[in-house]
Amino acid sequence: MTGVRVTHIGGPTALIEIDGLRLLTDPTFDPPGRRYAFGWGTSSRKTAGPAFPAAELPPVDAVLLTHDHHGDNLDDAGRALLPGVRTVLTTPAGARRLGGNAHGLAPWDTWKLSSPDGTTVEVTATPARHGPPLSRPVVGEVTGFALSWPGQSHGVLWISGDTVLFDGVREVGRRLTVGTALLHLGGVGFPITGPLRYTMTAAGAVEVCRLLRPRTVVPVHYEGWSHFREARTAAERTLSEAPAEVRDVFRWLPRGTATELSV
């Protein structure tokens, strides 16, 4: 069985090591304190930095970038490291903006990544919607990613990206067997848009677990910014009321520590 290690560095940023292949999700390495504008009158202040700086990363083979146009998913320090990796996979719109080594994947497009030692991972872009219905023209394109490789025991490793529960996520459940899910939580909201949420809440995550039945759920992107409306403690209260078969699959990783996962 292929060995997999996941290091949650902070926010949406995780280092995924699959044998000899190192993949980095949504690189965010700026220090805390700055406020970032997201457009349409929305903004957020970064309240926590990464577990370690970008300079301490091992060599990275590819970046899986769910979207490039929000500072909590790609900040200045994260953007600076993109040219140093062989491949950046992102949305078609993001690839046009980034150029260079960036490749855009529409939903259900695939791309093969390989390391010198022969490790090969197939990446499939999965649907994501960063907010309520009809919000895409405002919030822009986002994507998730499903990772598959020979020797997986329980199904694909799915990275949800910044999404709410919608038909595209249900389609993931119909088309793929998900063994491990890196779920972007946090219930993002802004004063200007009131009760609307732009990422998944814990209640949404419970429903996703019922639909996809993953063996392991690793929450990411739920703290460290002022626009999150549901931090870990609030999410855990919701999860404590879920059935055991849902509640027990959640695994909160310590930041900055490589954790072995059975995938």
pLDDT tens digits, one per residue of 109-163: 999 999 888 889 999 999 999 999 988 988 999 999 999 999 898 899 999 999 9
User: Is residue 191, in this structure, part of any structural domain at all?
Assistant: yes
User: Is residue 220, in this structure, part of any structural domain at all?
Assistant: yes
Say what percent of the chain tops pLDDT 70.
Answer: 99
Q: Is it the case that residue 81 has pLDDT exceeding 80?
A: yes
- Burial readout 174-185 (b: 16 or more C-beta within 10 A, e: otherwise): eebbbbbbbbbb
Amino acid in position 139: V
> Which value, to the nearest 10 degrees, does the dihedral of the CA atoms of residues 94, 96, 99, 101 take?
60
CA dist 51 and 45 (Å) reads 18
CA dist 109 and 145 (Å) reads 10
Pairwise pLDDT comparison (68 vs 136), residue with the higher score = 68
Report yes or no: 178 and 170 within 8 Å, Cβ to Cβ. no
State the DSSP string of 137-180. Answer: HHH----EEEEE-TT-SS-EEEE--S--S-HHHHHHHHH--EEE
Report yes or no: 263 and 16 within 8 Å, Cβ to Cβ. no
User: Is residue 101, in this structure, part of any structural domain at all?
Assistant: yes
Predicted TM-score of the model (pTM)? 0.96
CATH of the domain at 238: 3.60.15.10
User: Is residue 263, in this structure, part of any structural domain at all?
Assistant: no
In tens, the pLDDT along 165-181 reads 999 999 999 999 999 99
| Averaged pLDDT, 249-260 | 96
Report yes or no: 106 and 92 within 8 Å, Cβ to Cβ. yes
SS3 197: coil
User: Is residue 53, in this structure, part of any structural domain at all?
Assistant: yes
| Averaged pLDDT, 68-83 | 98
CA dist 165 and 39 (Å) reads 23
Q: What is the pLDDT of residue 2?
A: 56
**How many domains would you assign to the chain?**
1
Q: Is it the case that residue 1 has pLDDT exceeding 70?
A: no
User: Is residue 262, in this structure, part of any structural domain at all?
Assistant: no
User: Is residue 84, in this structure, part of any structural domain at all?
Assistant: yes
Question: Cα 22–24–30 angle (5° rounding)?
Answer: 140
Q: What value does the mean pLDDT of the chain take? A: 95
User: Is residue 259, in this structure, part of any structural domain at all?
Assistant: no
Report yes or no: 65 and 18 within 8 Å, Cβ to Cβ. no
Q: What is the pLDDT of residue 143?
A: 98
Q: Is it the case that residue 164 has pLDDT exceeding 80?
A: yes
Domain encompassing residue 77 = 4-254
Q: What is the pLDDT of residue 20?
A: 87
CA dist 134 and 233 (Å) reads 30
In tens, the pLDDT along 4-51 reads 999 999 999 999 999 989 999 999 999 999 999 998 889 999 999 999
| Averaged pLDDT, 77-101 | 97
